[in-house]
Structure 1
Amino acid sequence: MTTKHHLPRVSNAISTGLSSLIKFALLALTLVCGLHVSAQTSTLTTNFVVGAGIPDASPSGVASAKTISTPIASITGLKVSLKLSGTFNGDLYCYLTHSSGHSVLLNRVGRRSASNLGYGDDGINVTFDDAATNGDIHNYRLTLNGNHNLPITGALTNTWAPDGRTNSPYAVLDTDARAALLSSFNGLNPNGEWVLYVADVEAGDLYTLDNWGLEITGYTSPTITANPAGQIVECTSGNANFSVTATGSTPLNYQWLFNGAPISGETGSTLTINNATFANAGNYRVVVTNDYGAVTSSVAALTIVDTTAPVVTILGANPMTNECHAAFTDPGATASDLCAGSLSVMTNSAVDPNTPGSYTISYSATDPSGNPMTVTRTVVIRDTIAPAITMIGNATVTNECHSAFVDPGATVSDACD
């Protein structure tokens, strides 16, 4: 039996200690942490410098509360670093909580039926890992020296599996089951508050919580690293191309939205709108999802412009000729626009079919965007028919010799003049 001189124990009501823990917890701090990203998972590494003294022989202990902010959304693995300076490691009880997770890191290391005080070594500077090859930290002397009674030199170092025993620190033994391991955090979202609680439950020694940290590995929710950009596209003759770049645990799923409504079949990282029209103008966004979360891009506005004039097509010949005094009918013209379709045509026809000459007819159309187009036709009115001469009287006239002759004359007429 290991003997240690100490003051009388305080109450062993651990629930009271936990209440004190919450009451006197340190203010949570938002962290600036290191994040390593792999193809499927990311790893966040933190270190919190505390430097807080641990009350001697008090189950209220010290609580160090920290707030984690990370893209990781589901934990697949957790390691914890912990440094405690002091004497008599067997006094220490330490656990970690977050959300529904709970892991007992230290529970009176070395305490067993043959030693109700545990190991008397000085200091702990270790990393906790469920898969540590050293195994259970509760029996570290036995692992390192092959003997519970042989002390180690200096503080305990290296990587160890958590104690994991949920028994009261006033009754825990090395033979108790280990249930509260770091794997209890697997599947939880690591964001939010984490609390490390450390208590010195036996009197006569002093300890300091120097620092602690987390190495969180897990799946990440999507994060958009490049949002789609707004575009200006010529109506019907231009294509709109949107793209998004996102990271996160695969597979990533995409759904494009137009003015807030899903676009059927558009489930890739790019969106192409061929020959865009005014009907396509509006706001585009994309929602990126995976099994661990969702993120929506910023708005990319598609602006459609029409700077192309309509096409006016003259019907019939150009130039066009018409016989003088013959009825003239303007064949007209049609107008169409790539964006607006068919348009009405305005004309200024002022052809006088009874007066020979050259006339110009204009045909104009303007699309809804204000782009005008005017074309002209030349119409020539000409007189190609000779005038008609009509003799007055008979074509053959007999006149007596020496009688005066009076020519009855003739008349001339022309259809145009």
Structure 2
Amino acid sequence: MKHIILALLFPVIANGATVQLTDSVGGLIPDGSTAGLARTLVLDRPGEEITSITVDISISGTSGSFPFLGDLYFYLSDGTSLVTLANRAGRDSGTLDGYDDSVSMMVTFSDLAFTDFHVYRPAVTGNSTTALSGPLTGSFQPDGRDTLPTSVVTGDARTSQLSDFLGVSAERTFTLFAADLSGGAEHQIDSLTLNVETVQVPEPSLGLLSLASACLLMFKRWR
């Protein structure tokens, strides 16, 4: 009986949406600075909650500049959760500067990808010492290491992931923060897109509430 009442109160509603939030303006990431660059995207889907989220980002060196991907640290936050997407990729006890790949990147961050972004090289070139010969592309899991960029290493626990944003209200502001933590050359964000899937949150109607109350009263009397 209780299950029937709950079903009456919360009927299944499958309505939802697939939303793309895009920032094509981008901007320069200050070189060798913790000040970084912040870009903001607003999700406005009242009465819905997030069921899936991935991040597409394109980053390159400015004209005549050859920065390293291992210099980069960036995260996505909604003011409550913070997910580390990149944290000095390749940085470990023997490679404190991270990967020295001087290439652009056009990647998707997804929890469903196979490769941890922090160690992307072996998946692309076959080992951790061979540099990339072209742009970094494909899908990667977020780095997830919330350790300080000045001390992060491969073995650190991966404590954040994009699923941290699931099941929450689809009315929120996302901020991508990106920093280049080693001087010498300048990165720029060329484009940023959040791919978000939502579902409508069912609400009980007054009629169903009345019916459920009556059923509950009958149930109590039967007992």
Which TM-score tier does this pair reach, normalised by the shorter chain?
Answer: 0.7 to 0.9
Contact 1:93 1:201 in 2 (8 A): yes
- Among 15, 32, 48, the alignment partner of 1:57 is 32
Q: Find the aligned partners of 2:89 and 2:20 in 1 and give their Cα distance.
A: 26
- Classify 1:202/1:263 alpha carbon distance in 2 versus 1 (closer, same or farther; 3 Å): closer
Provide the aligned C-alpha RMSD in A. Answer: 2.2
| Gapped regions of structure 1 (runs ≥ 5) | 1-37, 222-250, 257-261, 266-417
| 1:197-246 deviation line (CA, Å, top 9, x unaligned) | 0000000011001111111123224xxxxxxxxxxxxxxxxxxxxxxxxx
Corresponding residue to 2:44 among 27, 51, 69 = 69
Residue 205 (structure 2) pairs with residue 254 (structure 1) = yes
Check conservation: 2:110, 2:141, Cα contact below 8 A: yes
Are residues 255 and 72 of structure 1, via their aligned partners in 2, closer, same or farther at CA, if it must alter by over 3 Å?
closer
Residue 113 of structure 2 corresponds to 132
Q: Aligned to 2:187, which of 207, 223, 228?
A: 207
Equivalent residue, structure 1, for 2:23: 48
The equivalent of 1:17 in structure 2 is none
Which whole-Å CA distance do the structure 1 matches of 2:157 and 2:20 have between them? 30
**Following the alignment from structure 1 to structure 2, what is the Cα–Cα distance between the partners of residues 54 and 181?**
23
Shift, 1:78, TM fit: 1.2
Aligned equivalent of 1:272: none
Question: TM-score of the superposition, structure 1-length normalised?
Answer: 0.44
User: What do the CA deviations read for 1:340-389 (whole angstroms, capped 9, x no partner)?
Assistant: xxxxxxxxxxxxxxxxxxxxxxxxxxxxxxxxxxxxxxxxxxxxxxxxxx
Bigger radius of gyration among the two: 1
> Could you list the per-position Cα deviations for residues 265-296 of structure 1 after superposition, in whole angstroms to 9, with x for gaps in the alignment?
5xxxxxxxxxxxxxxxxxxxxxxxxxxxxxxx
Matching residue's letter, 1:50 = V
Alignment partner, residue 122 of structure 2? 142
Helix, strand or coil at the partner of 1:184 = helix
**Maintained 8 Å contact 1:44/1:70:** no
Question: If each structure's helix is expressed as a fraction of its own residues, which one has the higher value?
Answer: 2
| Map of 2:78 onto structure 1 | 98
Residue pair 2:14, 2:199 contacting (<8 A) in 1 also: no
Identity within the alignment, % = 35
Q: Is 2:64 the partner of 1:84?
A: no
Q: Offset of 1:186 from its aligned partner?
A: 1.5
**Which 4+ residue blocks in structure 1 deviate beyond 6 angstroms?**
none
Report the alpha carbon displacement of residue 192 of structure 1 after superposing the two structures with TM: 2.5
Give the number of aligned pairs. Answer: 194
User: 1:153-192 maps to which residues of 2 (within 5 A)?
Assistant: 153-192=133-172
State the alpha-carbon separation in 2 of the partners of residues 58 and 263 from structure 1.
57
User: Structure 1 pair 71/161, CA: closer, same or farther in 2 (3 Å)?
Assistant: same
> Aligned letter for 1:130?
D
Kindly state the Cα deviation for residue 120 of structure 1 after the two structures are TM-superposed: 1.6
Q: Distance in 1 between matches of 2:194 and 2:209?
A: 42
Q: 1:72 to 1:146 in 2, by over 3 A?
A: farther
